[in-house]
């Protein structure tokens, strides 16, 4: 065989080699042209998770002293200054040495700090504690599609469903899936929290039946089908002089 003479191949071997090369080339082109699988954007994934997540429940708030509350003011080392007072309609309490102190709107801990500061002028390192002995004028309001809307006293811990029960229960036109709690926040700014009380009623999610705070408003909206019926009654039945009825023939 000469130095530059090409080796001879049989036709069958040549076709097999050619076929293998073409297949490999097609595979490389397909892989190179196919779009790479992309992970969903983080922002989009977070938005989807947020949409699926249940609405947050109202935050638990510390009790704030109200008009009519009975307070025990106790001194650890000065028992002669111990007093039991009732918060007046102007929100103040009268005490020895420090005269009048505003109590409404403060938590017991906050009032304790105020008293320690005020009595610190007269006493050396006063040790004071404030105890709410009884509660006065603690009320909540229930309105909307309930049988007896109105204002109701809070006796101990009261949940949204218990408040609605006090109001005679929900009407058939009520929409239990979107009950609204309206609560006074910082600076008396209203905060709203939706509750799916239908889930609490059937046991699916009993955490929806939250405890209420003083002066909460529980609003039970009207269902969509009830709104339609009201519209039909107001704008069709009362305006058309002939009776409207539907008759089915089987």
- Whether the CB-CB separation of 105 and 126 falls below 8 Å is answered with no
Contact partners, residue 95, CB within 8 Å, separation at least 6: 73, 81, 83, 85, 101, 115
Q: Does residue 15 lie in a domain region?
A: no
pLDDT score at 1: 44
Q: What is the pLDDT, as a whole number, of residue 196?
A: 93
Same domain? For 120 and 146 the reply is no
Question: How many other CB atoms are found less than 10 A from the CB of residue 107?
Answer: 15
| Within a domain: 241 | no
Distance CA 144, CA 158 (A): 19
Do the domain assignments include residue 27?
A: no
Q: Which of 195, 142, 139 is nearest to 170 (CA)?
A: 142
Asked if residue 14 is part of any domain, the answer here is: no
Are 164 and 222 part of one and the same domain? yes
Following DSSP, what letter does each residue of 46-96 receive, concatenated? HHHHHHHSPPPPPPP------TT-EEEEEESS-GGG-EEEE--TTSEEEET
Local structure of 18: helix, strand or coil = helix
Instruction: Mark whether 195 and 167 lie in a shared domain.
Output: yes
Rounded CA separation 163/132 (Å): 23
Give the range of the structural domain holding residue 175, as residue numbers without chain letter: 139-227
Q: What is the mean pLDDT of residues 73-77?
A: 92
Domain boundary among 114, 134, 154: 134
Over residues 120-163, the pLDDT tens digits come to 988 888 999 999 988 776 789 999 999 999 999 887 788 999 99
Same domain, 157 and 222: yes
176 and 206 share a domain? yes
Task: Examine the pLDDT at 216 and tell me if it is beyond 50.
Answer: yes
Q: How confident is the model at residue 237 (pLDDT cuts 50, 70, 90)?
A: low
Asked whether the predicted pLDDT for residue 116 surpasses 70, the reply is yes
Q: Domain holding 124: CATH number?
A: 3.30.1950.10
CA-based radius of gyration for the chain: 37
Kindly report each contact of residues 8-12 with a partner whose C-beta sits within 8 Å and lies 24 or more positions away, as own/partner.
none
CATH number for the domain spanning 146: value is 3.10.560.10
Residues 106 and 148 in one domain: no
Domain membership flag for residue 35: no
Confirm whether 64 is domain-assigned.
Answer: no
Q: Is there a single domain that holds both residue 151 and residue 180?
A: yes
Mark which of 134, 159, 179 sits at the end of a domain: 134
At 184 the pLDDT is 81
Two structure tokens written together for 138: 């603690």
Q: Which of 222, 72, 193 is nearest to 132 (CA)?
A: 72
Of 134, 158, 189, which residue sits at a domain end? 134
Residues 81 and 148 in one domain: no
Return the percentage of the chain with pLDDT > 90, whole number.
39
Domain count, the chain: 2
Beta bridge partners of 180: 194, 219
What pairs with residue 102 in β-bridges? 92
Q: pTM for this structure?
A: 0.51
Give me the mean pLDDT over the 64-70 stretch: 86
Mean pLDDT (the chain) is 76
Whether 32 is covered by a domain: the verdict is: no
Asked, for residue 180, whether it belongs to a domain, the answer is: yes
Please give the average per-residue pLDDT across 186-194, as a whole number: 82
Cα(213)–Cα(193) distance, integer angstroms: 13
Looking at the structure, do residues 161 and 220 belong to the same domain, yes or no? yes
């Amino acid at each position: 065989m000469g130095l530059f003479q090409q080796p001879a191949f049989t036709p069958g071997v040549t076709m097999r080699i050619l076929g293998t090369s073409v297949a490999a080339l097609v595979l490389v082109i397909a892989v190179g042209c196919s779009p790479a699988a992309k992970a969903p954007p983080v922002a989009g994934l977070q938005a989807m998770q947020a949409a699926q997540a249940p609405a947050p429940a109202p935050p638990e708030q510390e009790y704030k002293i109200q008009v009519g509350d009975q307070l025990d003011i106790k001194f650890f080392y000065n028992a002669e200054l111990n007093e039991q007072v009732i918060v007046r309609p102007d929100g103040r309490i009268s005490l020895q040495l420090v005269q009048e102190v505003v109590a409404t709107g403060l938590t017991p801990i906050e009032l304790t700090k105020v008293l320690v500061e005020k009595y610190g002028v007269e006493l050396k390192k006063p040790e004071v504690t404030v105890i709410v002995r009884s509660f006065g004028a603690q009320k909540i309001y229930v309105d909307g599609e309930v049988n007896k809307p109105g204002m109701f006293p809070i006796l101990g811990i009261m949940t949204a469903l218990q408040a609605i029960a006090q109001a005679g229960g929900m009407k058939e036109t009520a929409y239990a899936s979107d009950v609204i709690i309206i609560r006074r926040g910082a600076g008396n700014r209203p905060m709203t929290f939706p509750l799916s009380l239908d889930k609490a009623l059937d046991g699916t999610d009993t955490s929806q039946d939250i405890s209420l705070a003083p002066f909460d408003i529980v609003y039970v909206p009207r269902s969509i089908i009830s709104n339609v019926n009201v519209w039909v009654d107001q704008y069709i039945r009362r305006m058309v002089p002939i009776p409207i009825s539907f008759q089915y023939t089987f």
